Structure 1
């Protein structure tokens, strides 16, 4: 016997039929919302000013697209950052968390 599963999306704003699920992130939290075509366009238009001025990230988790190797916590590879810092005369902790300004300089250089 064949089985058919149908998924119907409901607009999270007004309960009407939704046409898509939109994912977005803000302040470190990821969100998904089901929206009709009209509400989806409204959301995109509302965010356009900010998305046009912002930077795209790889993976959607706050990692700049230019990064290549990442550690398990989502940042660049600590060993690579420390090596780069040493080669560029930048002082960096030999253990533990790498200072944010050093990571920013590393990311800007890569």
Structure 2
């Protein structure tokens, strides 16, 4: 029998919701938000992005710095993929796992 999971907005308990990952001071946070609350968060972030636009334009010109592998060992990679799929992230069975997903996984693992 199939099991259907529905995420609930963490703020106002409305369904359906979608996981949203964001960062503050190099700390990853994940919250389940419905459309209205996700829009509110996006508008708040957009205000800050606008204020930072000059910095980010200059930073992009400097180039990208590689920090090495973000997903770790093969065992950890498999665990990240399984966790991500269970938590509504779109990850492929092979290839690089997006850094946002890895950070969200590690953040969730710390809370256990």
TM-score scaled by structure 1? 0.48
Structure 1 or 2: larger helix share? 2
Larger RCO (CA under 8 A, 6+ residues apart):
2
